[in-house]
Chain A
Amino acid sequence: MEIIASILSGRNLALLGAALAAGLAGMGSAKGVGMVGEAGGGLLSEDPSKFGKLLILQVLPGTQGIYGLITAFLIIFKIGILGTPIDLTIAQGAYFVMASLPIAIVGYFSAIKQARVAITGVNVLAKRPDEVGKAITSTVLVETYAIFAVLVSLLLVLFAAV
């Protein structure tokens, strides 16, 4: 119990929030980018000249990881880890955990869902390269919700009362 009590501090909770945001969203993006990369490998072996367009499709599910990273950075800024750390109560620390949840959860799942749409886009690129713009657009549609989630997370962190 003593160990738990010594670990459980406001600052550590806030760091948990940062870790969740960067970690979960990053996991989702890593998985998503990997899935699209695997699907694209076959196409590349047949037509390496499509690399540029494939790259766009592949990096799209990567943005969630960046959103998670930004949220984590903002939390780190806010609690002054890189400068003079400020003291947080347990409740204030828990606030940052809550604030990180939208991008952590939505980031993880939307990256994977977006990757699945991007994979169908890879098929479009293989069969009808002229129409790949539409495939990219429909992939971008999925990202909207990650953007909304990161917006909520960012605003919560920016307006945190510490």
Chain B
Amino acid sequence: MSVSKMEKLTAVVPASDADALLGRLMRLGAVSITRDALPDAAKARLQGHAPEAAAEAARIASILPVLAKRSKRKKPLFSQAVPYDPQEFKRSGQEERAQKTVTEAEHVLARIEELKSKLAAERALMQSLLPYLDHKRPLNDPGTQTAAVWLGSLPAGIKTDKLRAVADEVGFVAEVLSSDNRGVYLSIVTHRDAEGDTQKALASLGFVRAAHAEDEGLATDIFDASQKREHELEREIARLDAGLDVLAENLTEVEILYDMAATREITEKNKESLFATKSCAILTGWVPAREEARVTRALEKCGAAYEFTPPEEGDDVPVLLRNNAYARNFEWVLGMYSYPKYGKFDPTLVMSIFYFLIFGLMFADAGYGLFMSIICFGAVKWLRPRESMKRFLLMFGCCGISCLIFGVLFGAYFGDFPLAFMKNFLKLPPEKMPNLALLPSAEANLAILFDPIQNPMGFLLVSLGIGALHLLGGMAVKAYTLCREKKVLDALFDVGSYWLLFGGIATVFFKKSVGLGLIITGVVMILATQGRAKKGVLGKMIGGFGGIYALINYVSDLLSYSRILALGLAAGVIAQVVNLLATMKGASFIGFLVMIVVFIIGHLLNLVINVLGTFVHTARLQYIEFFGRFYEEGGTPFRPMTVSEKYSTEIPTEDEDAEVPTA
């Protein structure tokens, strides 16, 4: 539960060893490079080949989806990294095969593209010939000495009478070959002397000459030839496509190749952010203090000159959180808001405890909780997801346990399913229904404490109670951090005074005089101290009253926890509806089938809706109500440079002295 101490690393190596150094450090995953500060000795950045490396990685990346689509490899639910040994990958010829696969796939894809455009052209040709297939003369019919023959179309919907009338008047013959919703297709025969008039008359009707009027031969012949070519093209494309299927068998190797190329790209980019002197490369970066030994070993191996220095005032030190196996699963929830500033308090542990409590209370249902935990923990155990996915699942698994506990306390097992089953399926009379609650209840229930739907006010009090605890916890953290910074008086003024006041309000109910005394002391302390940072008497007074006014914030923050009740009721009532629908058919075989189907669909839906709602609202209570009390946020997360592990991970070489592959 703390922010890791960081050290600033400055390392100098001969420029030619920069690749090796970066390779080692990236594989350690413990150093983040700073790109801003320019050491005195350096003038410029090191030259790298980032654009070329990026282009190569992009080239492989563009092939991957094509192969992935065709691969018969089983797809896991969560992406998993394939372990590989870089040296072995090279030696066994796998790398060469992967390279070849990419080149070949690229070639095949380009060829398919080319054939597809040819195919489209053939299809367009056939489409345009379709209306003229009945024309039994060559398309480029030259006509006779006295007669000209044209092919073409008029807009759709033209009246044949009108065409006849025009034809008779000008003196040409129009034969309708075919028509569709785009036009009427004609062959026109006219005397050479009347060609001009015919053209004019036809133009006024909207006549357009056929696109293939200059092609030789009969329309049917051209069409058939085109169709033959179409089939050939289709066959060729199918053949090439099948070739891709074969190439897809090498998918895993190409994925590894991608990671290697991506790693090289990262290396080159990192290299370009190093500084160069005449012959040396200078690296500056941040290292977690506890990784110093490992980083030192790597630096020694590269023969680098180096020094570790503590961060100075004004440095933007990246933040790495360090938490126990439980709390670290909640770090990403913190990350969604903001990391703490370097050297400040890491609230992950405290937050994770409250998160656990509030999540469970908001979604108190033993059935849903157990189901969530089994799914999440099971997925972690059997599907072996990556670290970030694993933490995500573990967090929801833990929250499931919390739901289970609160579900038992408040008697919800998939809503009121056991009760609905007993009532509608087994037809138990009301007096035989269970009524377990410690608090007296008129209706049947399975709760140990009480049923929130039967006693919403009781549940509201529990919600506000945990809210009060949450807020007081936030203030306690503030007091703790102030004391840690040796500002005990500030802690007394800013937290102690309010606590006196709150304590007084609570005590009034038991012993009026003591309570009132505490309240007055608290109020006086707030009035006297909240303006202490302000200048002038007036400023101090206004500050004091501001401190009193801030109490309104506490009240509104506290009321905000009533959402625990609202969301809890939401989940409970929907579950009740599902159960009612599920058991309505009564005890019969059909009724049983209906129950199973409605139960599964209804409760899955309710679970999904409510997990999302509970997740965001619990997070909100942390971000706004809890963090508002104390949190000093704004740290940049520590992102060490690493190798690309999108699809694969390198098996670390056991021999530390072995040459690190430079991609």
CB closest residue in chain B, given A134: B337
Binds A, one of B116-124, B166-174, B573-581: B573-581
Q: Which of A59, A141, A155 contacts B620 (CB 8 A)?
A: A141
* Interface membership of chain A positions 72-101, coded 1 if the CB is closer than 8 angstroms to chain B and 0 otherwise: 011001000010000000000000000000
Asked if A82 and B580 sit within 8 Å, CB to CB, the answer is yes
Q: Quick check: which of A7-15, A35-43, A63-71, A104-112 contacts chain B, the rest being far away? A: A63-71
Inter-chain contacts of B569 with A (CB < 8 A):
70, 154
On whether the beta carbons of A137 and B620 are closer than 8 Å, the reply is yes
* Interface residue from A136, A150, A158 paired with B616 (Cβ < 8 Å): A136
Q: Which chain B residues numbered 593 to 619 have a C-beta less than 8 Å away from chain A? A: 609, 612-613, 616-617, 619
CA distance A54 to B624 in the complex (A): 22
Q: Are B574 and A70 neighbours in the complex by a CB distance under 8 Å? A: yes
B336 partner residues in chain A, CB cutoff 8 A: 132-134, 136-137
B562 and A147 within 8 A (CB): yes
A30 close to B (CB within 8 Å): no
Q: Kindly state whether residue A151 has any CB partner on chain B within 8 Å.
A: yes
B433 at the interface (CB under 8 A from A): no
Q: CA of A134 to CA of B580 in the docked complex: distance in angstroms?
A: 39
Whether a CB of chain B sits under 8 angstroms from the CB of A60 is: yes
Contact flag A155-B612 (CB < 8 Å), given A70-B570, A74-B573, A134-B337: no
Closest A residue to B581 by beta carbon equals: A82
Within 8 A of B (CB), among A117-157: 132-134, 136-137, 140-141, 143-144, 147-148, 150-151, 154-155
Q: Is A162 close to B, CB under 8 A?
A: no
| Interface residue A44 (Cβ < 8 Å from any Cβ of B) | no
Q: Would you give the shortest CB distance from A157 to chain B, in whole angstroms?
A: 10
B residues less than 8 Å from A66 (CB atoms)? 570, 574, 609
Closest to A62 in B: B609
Q: Does B14 contact A (CB under 8 A)?
A: no
Among residues of A, the one whose C-beta sits closest to the C-beta of B608 is A59
B508 interface contact, C-beta 8 A: no
A158–B453 CB distance below 8 A: yes
Q: Which residue of A lies closest to B455 (CB)?
A: A158
Interface string of B609-649 (1 = CB under 8 A from A): 10011001101100110000000000000000000000000
Q: How far is the CA of A86 from the CA of B326 in the complex (A)?
A: 52
Q: How far is the CA of A71 from the CA of B562 in the complex (A)?
A: 17
Known: A56-B616, A155-B456. A67 touches B570 (CB 8 A): yes
B624 contacts A141, C-beta separation under 8 Å: yes
A154 to B560, CA, bound (A): 16
B412 smallest CB distance to A (angstroms): 15
Known: A56-B616, A70-B569, A154-B456. A137 touches B337 (CB 8 A): yes
Residue pair B573, A151 in contact (C-beta under 8 Å): no
Report whether B337 and A56 are in contact in the complex, using a CB–CB cutoff of 8 Å: no
List the B side residues contacting A136 at CB < 8 Å: 336, 616
Q: Are B616 and A147 in contact (CB under 8 A)?
A: no
Contacts of A56 in B (CB 8 A): 612, 616
With contacts A70-B570, A147-B562, A154-B569 known, is A59 near B624, CB below 8 A?
Answer: no
Contacts of B335 in A (CB 8 A): 133
Q: Does B240 contact A (CB under 8 A)?
A: no
Question: A73 to B563, Cβ gap below 8 A?
Answer: no
Q: Which of A63, A77, A144 contacts B560 (CB 8 A)?
A: A144
B61 at the interface (CB under 8 A from A): no
Q: Which of A82, A134, A150 contacts B566 (CB 8 A)?
A: A150
CB distance from B533 to the nearest CB of A (A): 28
CA separation between A77 and B613, bound complex, in Å? 24
Question: B567 within 8 Å of A by Cβ?
Answer: yes
**Interface residue from A59, A73, A132 paired with B577 (Cβ < 8 Å):** A73
Given A147-B567, A148-B562, A137 contacting B577 (CB threshold 8 A): no
**Distance in angstroms between the alpha carbons of A66 and B574 in the assembled complex:** 9
The dominant DSSP class at the A interface is helix
Bound-state Cα–Cα, A136 to B612, Å:
12
Q: List residues of chain B with CB within 8 A of the CB of A82.
A: 580, 584
Closest to A60 in B: B616
B456 proximity list for chain A (CB < 8 A) = 154-155, 158
Let me know if B370 is at the binding interface, CB within 8 A.
no
Interface residue B565 (Cβ < 8 Å from any Cβ of A): yes
Write out, one digit per residue, whether chain B residues 543-579 have a CB within 8 A of any chain A CB (1) or not (0). 0000000000000000110110111011001101100
Q: Which of A60, A77, A82, A133 has the most CB of B within 10 A?
A: A133
Q: How far is the CB of A44 from chain B (nearest CB, A)?
A: 17
Chain A residues whose C-beta falls within 8 Å of the C-beta of B567 in the assembled complex: 147
CB of B52, distance to nearest CB on chain A (Å): 25
* B570–A140 touching, CB < 8 Å: no
What separation, in Å, do the CA atoms of A141 and B584 have in the docked complex? 39
Taking the nearest CB of chain B, how far is it from the CB of A138, in angstroms? 10
Q: Which residues of A contact B584 (CB under 8 A)?
A: 82
Report B16-48 residues with CB < 8 Å from chain A CB: none
Question: Is B566's CB under 8 angstroms from A140's CB?
Answer: no
Q: Let me know if A151 and B616 touch, CB within 8 A.
A: no
A74 CA / B577 CA spacing, docked (Å): 9
Let me know if B565 and A151 touch, CB within 8 A.
yes
Given contacts A56-B612, A150-B566, A155-B456, contact A140 B617 (CB under 8 A): yes
Closest A residue by C-beta to B569: A154
B570 lies within 8 A of A151 (CB): no
Q: A70-B569, A144-B560, A150-B566 given as contacts; is B574 within 8 A of A59 (CB)?
A: no
- Contact pick for A59, options B562, B570, B612, CB 8 Å: B612
State whether A70 and B616 are in contact (beta carbons under 8 Å apart), knowing that A134-B337, A141-B624, A158-B453 are contacts in the complex.
Answer: no
Q: Is there contact, CB below 8 Å, between B616 and A140?
A: yes
B566:A137 contact, CB within 8 angstroms: no
**Please, which residues of chain A bring their CB within 8 A of the CB of B338?**
134
Q: B566 contacts which chain A residues (CB < 8 A)?
A: 67, 147-148, 150-151, 154
> Which of B559, B563, B617: most chain A Cβ within 10 A?
B563
Give the distance in Å from the alpha carbon of A127 to the alpha carbon of B564 in the complex. Answer: 33
In the complex, the answer to whether B577 meets A140 with C-beta atoms within 8 Å is no
Q: Chain B nearest CB: distance from A5 CB in Å?
A: 33
A151: chain B residues within 8 A (beta carbon): 562-563, 565-566
Across the two chains, which residue of chain A brings its CB closest to B577? A73
Distance (whole angstroms) from the CB of A1 to the closest CB of chain B: 37
C-alpha spacing A133/B620, complex, angstroms: 10
For chain A, residues 46 to 67, give those with C-beta under 8 angstroms from any C-beta of chain B. 56, 59-60, 63, 66-67
Known: A133-B336, A148-B559, A158-B453. 15 other contacts (CB 8 A): A56-B612, A70-B569, A73-B573, A82-B584, A133-B337, A136-B616, A137-B337, A140-B619, A140-B620, A144-B560, A147-B566, A150-B566, A151-B562, A154-B456, A154-B569
7 nearest A-B residue pairs (beta carbon): A133-B336, A151-B566, A147-B563, A140-B620, A70-B573, A147-B566, A140-B616
In the assembled complex, 12 residue pairs joining A and B whose CB atoms fall closer than 8 Å, in A order, are: A60-B616, A66-B570, A66-B574, A69-B574, A133-B335, A134-B337, A137-B619, A137-B620, A140-B617, A147-B566, A154-B566, A155-B457
